[in-house]
Chains A and B, each alone.
Chain A
Amino acid sequence: MKINNKYINLLLTIVVSMFIGAVVMLILGYNPLEAYFQLFKGAFVGKLNLGTTLQKFVPLLLTSIAFVISSRVGVFNVGVEGELYLGAMAAAWVGFAFKGLPAPIHLILCFAAAMVVGAAWAYIPGSLKARLGVNEVCVTILMNYVAKFITSYLVNGPLSAKTGVPQTPAVADGVKLTQFMKPSQAHTGLFIAIVVVVVIFWLMSRSTTGYKFTSVGLNPLHAEYVGIDPKKTMIRAMLLSGAVGGIAGAIEILGVYGYFLDNFSSGIAMDGMLAALIVKSDIKMVPLMAFFLAVLKSGALGMERYTGVPKSIVDTIIAIFIVFATMEALFVFNKRRKAKKEEQSALPGKQN
């Protein structure tokens, strides 16, 4: 019952945002039916379109899961973007610097490097928070810039392909993830991502690791008292989060580009974080929301390509969509909302 409500709510929210988007388009003199048709088409119809949706879905899914992992232990990890960049760079470096290794081993090495680097990067804000109580939002916002500059330095300096484009040499063909649904850029990284998400889901809901994360996230004092080290656990969750962020980067590099391109992610992880936040880090809803955002993004491309609706309006409508999608209680009817509020406010207040 309760779960059903959640999905229905989401659906209703989407309908309302579409309606409002339509009103906006009408006011501006565009035909909403055609625009939505193209949005739909741009996301689903044809290999290129569907493939683009899937290709965009992969990093969104992984970065939102990375965010969810850290939020389990109560860490608000804005730093997935940095982990993604550095993980991508690590994968690219292993990918081109160790050419000649047997492909499967090479591929595993690429991912291992990305995970290690991503995890190491996440270790910094994780341990600062766990040991000194340094606010992680502050640190991760700042660290994202640092990560970007580090990769920018590498790709323009020591690891540059020297082609005039800020990129690394191409990775070995053996480690490139097979693309399917050509000419789109969808690639087998999708399946890797799904496996990662399933593993994480299992880890969070069925394993002692997940239990410990949840326990620490909800009440670190209690966790400490029953013998779970909150600091260690917090750092472990950040390591895992970073590793998943690194995987996201590796998949982008090995699946989409084949080399590291300076500045390749324009806020992928921010969108991932958004997907996670909209559904309040509910791990079951996250893939759905990530997919929804991917559909919007690739549908928007279609809308831009095949209708007269200019990009700026497409962007506006997408943004309005998302604003409405965040409103969880939009369809909780008045009386129930009040009851809900009462229950929430009756819990002893947050007294840090």
Chain B
Amino acid sequence: MELSSIFDFTLIYATIRAATPILFAALAAVITQQADIINIGTEGIMLTGAFAAVCVSFFTGSWLLALLVSMVAGAVMSMIMAFAHIKYKADICAIGTAINMLALAITKFGIKQFLGTTGSFTSPKIIAIPKLHIALFDNNKYLNGLFNNWSMMEIFGIIMVFVMSFLLYRTVWGLRLRSVGRFPMAAETAGIHVNKMKYQVMLISGILGGMAGAHLSIGYSQMFTENMTNGRGFMGVAAMFFGNANPVMAWIGCLLFGFTDSLGGRLQSYGWPSQFVLMMPYIITIAVLAVSLWRKYVKEAKAKSSLVTK
């Protein structure tokens, strides 16, 4: 086995690539979690977004319009959730799961109805979200491999991590949101409309989820396949929990997963049993989470101990 061809510099960009779809889903989950809403429906929102993006891109040839429509589609799905949950007291996880089923069903229906095929759809007429190509890097193998041809969405995902951190921890809105999620009564008595905030975050979450979908279907690839999200929405929720609803930490979770996943793809080529390689990213993510919390636990216990003087 050649380590050099496994731990190759292309692994870095591969990690980003594998992490980005999950990252968008994770951010969609982070923002609602801040208002104490577990957005299990990310999966369905993404799928709807992916479908809408492919349709619009195929019929209009405009990726920008496609991206916008996918955001709207995601928002529609999330607003159904928000409405059911906030107004009609649906259990958030139940409505989330239901939304996932609905998205699966309507996209399946839509692919037949609008695209006239079944299962999956690809066409050269699908216009992709552009990739950033810097001609200057072309001649350098490393620069080219590392930084060239990033999808706009991959860059945007990273930007979003910081935008969201800024929103949550620096702005008025973020402060209010955090109070809504942690102690709604306190927010209510400060004159904040708790439900309004909840609708707002669901809307943002839907938009992000829609973008995540568009990234899948017209960014990372140019196709739509039934259930093409394949659990990436759920992985996003897991990453959100991994990062304890903090955008940067959730991003780290996504990168960790993306890295081990990409690494696994390379290891398999050398005859490692596929199932073990494929389960590795999941196990490593759990292990890292457990170890980091264990360390925190030990640290806190030490800080509290009477036998230790500061």
Contacts and interface: CB of A to CB of B under 8 A. Distances in A.
Nearest to A152: B275
Nearest to A327: B88
B23 to A, nearest CB: 15
Interface in A111-138: 128, 132-135, 137-138
Interface stretch (A47-55, A227-235, A271-279): A271-279
A145 B105 contact: no
A249 to B, nearest CB: 18
A222 interface: no
B69 to A, nearest CB: 20
B91 A149 contact: no
B99 interface: yes
B282 A142 contact: yes
- Residue of B112, B237, B238 with highest tally of chain A CB at under 10 A: B238
A323 B95 contact: yes
Contacts of A277: 91, 93-94, 97
A352 interface: yes
Nearest to B189: A349
Nearest to B282: A142
A26 to B, nearest CB: 15
A187 B294 CA distance: 46
**Which residue, of B89, B183, B242, B290, has the highest number of chain A Cβ atoms within 10 A?**
B89
A25 B18 CA distance: 40
Interface string B52-89: 00000000000000000000000000001000100111
B152 interface: no
Contacts of A208: none
B184 A326 contact: no
Interface in A40-78: 76
Contact of A350 (B183, B241, B289): B183
B241 A278 contact: no
Interface in A226-258: none
Contact of A141 (B95, B188, B235, B278): B235
A326 B94 contact: yes
B104 A315 contact: yes
B91 A326 contact: yes
A349 B293 contact: no
Given A323-B80, A349-B186, A318 B105 contact: yes
Given A143-B282, A312-B105, A328-B88, A149 B98 contact: no
A315 B89 CA distance: 24
Nearest to B94: A277
Contact of B276 (A149, A156, A322, A328): A149
B116 interface: no
Contact of A319 (B91, B105, B242, B290): B105
Contacts of A153: 273, 275-276
Given A137-B238, A277-B97, A323-B102, A316 B109 contact: yes
A162 interface: no
B241 A138 contact: yes
B185 interface: yes
A337 B88 CA distance: 9
Interface in B137-164: none
B83 to A, nearest CB: 9
A329 B242 contact: no
B234 to A, nearest CB: 5
A319 B275 contact: no
Nearest to B112: A312
Classify the interface of chain A: helix, strand, loop or mixed. helix
A168 to B, nearest CB: 15
B286 interface: yes
Contact of A316 (B91, B105, B242, B286): B105
Contacts of A349: 182-186
Interface in A296-340: 310-313, 315-316, 318-320, 322-323, 325-330, 332, 337
**Chain B CB within 10 Å, residue with most, of A135, A310, A327, A350:** A327
A161 B185 CA distance: 60
A146 interface: yes
A319 B289 contact: no
Nearest to B285: A142
Contacts of B80: 323
Given A132-B294, A133-B293, A319-B106, A146 B279 contact: yes
Contacts of A150: 275, 279
Nearest to B185: A349
Contacts of B131: none
A100 interface: no
Contacts of B87: 329
Interface string A263-281: 0000000100110011010
Interface string B208-244: 0000000000000000000000010011011101101
Nearest to A281: B91
A224 to B, nearest CB: 17
A18 interface: no
A183 interface: no
Given A316-B109, A326-B95, A138 B90 contact: no
A132 to B, nearest CB: 5
Contacts of A149: 275-276, 278-279
Given A138-B242, A326-B94, A349-B183, 11 more contacts: A135-B241, A138-B237, A141-B237, A145-B282, A280-B91, A310-B109, A318-B101, A319-B98, A328-B89, A350-B36, A350-B184
| 4 closest Cβ pairs, A-B complex | A277-B94, A138-B241, A327-B88, A315-B105
Interface of B: 36, 38, 80, 84, 87-91, 93-95, 97-99, 101-102, 104-106, 108-109, 112, 182-186, 188, 231, 234-235, 237-239, 241-242, 244, 273, 275-276, 278-279, 282-283, 285-286, 289-290, 293-294, 297
10 contacts: A128-B286, A133-B293, A138-B289, A141-B237, A270-B97, A273-B97, A312-B105, A315-B105, A319-B101, A328-B88
